[in-house]
Amino acid sequence: MEPLFGVVLGLILAVASPAHDSCTCATNKWAVCALDGPGNCTCRLAGSDHLLDCSTLTSKCFLMKAEMTPLKEKRLWRPPHGASDSDGIYNPDCEDSGVFKARQCNQSSTCWCVNTAGVRRTEKGGRSLSCSELVRTRWIYIELTHKRSSNTFDVPDVAKALTQLFESRYKLHPKYIAAIKYDPPLIQIRLDQNKKPRWDVDIADVAYYFEKDVNNDSVFHSDSSLTVSVNGDPLAIEKLWIYYVDEKPPEFCMRQLAAGISAVVTVVVLTAGIGIAVLLILRWLRTRTYKKFECKEMKEIKAPTLE
């Protein structure tokens, strides 16, 4: 009886173990997943109770929040008093749908307005700062360079390879890829998404996933490195730049520009003033020398002569 019980227990563990291992979120390695029923794997956002749809990309807002959540198995936790010299990463406030809230604030009661990509579009202010709407990021321009090699790529082949990459890996419909231009080694990609249907991924999320992949910090659970090939030849991405263009222009005030112009004007005025002062001094010195020489000649003329 005992050997039979051992065999049955082993079979149960053998079946349960693969099921447990398969309870992961393919599109988010920071998700916390658990089996809450036979074959039912539920994944939630790290540090919150938000359920995740692992068949598509996680919103950028949720990803940034997960990055700021201390998990021992994930990475070292950055101290809350640590400062950064950019707005690239912060602990965002997200709507239940995963989109950014129009106003974001940090622990020091400093607030600013963001677009749908979570990028700051106003000057920073206090808690009284009001953000009337979440302005949509309509265009995203991606510029990247690849390592030079002996292989030369044709423009149509590069465009085809990148279109397939964005469609298969990031679930982006090709209709949102407005243009791909290739001037070796520079590749330019323009994503255009005026309105986003609920069933489509957001281009801001796609750009964030792509940026993570290029920087060898993939969000996908498999943590597989990004590989792009053109007709079987590798396309090694070297550098990446991403630019966001909103439906409405940003609302930065002119203080910084005015300060820069004021500094330039001050330098020009000081330079001109010093130049004029030097010219006046030189003119005064010339006039003084001439008068001395003139007085000396007049004295020689008026001096009595001995007969």
User: Taking the chain (307 residues) in consecutive chunks of 10 residues, what is each chunk's mean pLDDT?
Assistant: 44 41 85 84 82 93 85 44 50 91 89 94 92 94 85 88 95 95 93 91 96 92 80 89 93 55 60 78 73 56 52
Give the model's pLDDT for residue 189.
96
**Burial class of 151 by CB neighbour count within 10 A (0 to 12, 13 to 18, 19+):** exposed
| pLDDT on residue 69 | 74
pLDDT at 292: 56
Q: Note the pLDDT of residue 296.
A: 56
- The pLDDT value given to residue 278: 78
**C-alpha closest to that of 58 among 68, 69, 44:** 44
Angle at 176 between CA 222 and CA 237, to 5 degrees: 50
Per DSSP, the three-state class of 149 is coil
Residue 201's pLDDT is 95
Instruction: Supply the pLDDT for residue 167.
Output: 96
Helices 60-67, 203-214: inter-axial angle, 10-degree rounding: 40
Q: What is the pLDDT of residue 265?
A: 57
* pTM of the full structure: 0.72
Q: Which residues contact 253 (CB under 8 A, 6 or more apart)?
A: 123
Between strands 111-113 and 233-234, the pairing is: unpaired
Going from the C-alpha of 212 to that of each of 37, 152, 159, 209, 226, the distances in angstroms are 33, 26, 21, 5, 10
Residues forming a β-bridge with 192: 139
Q: What pLDDT was estimated at residue 36?
A: 82
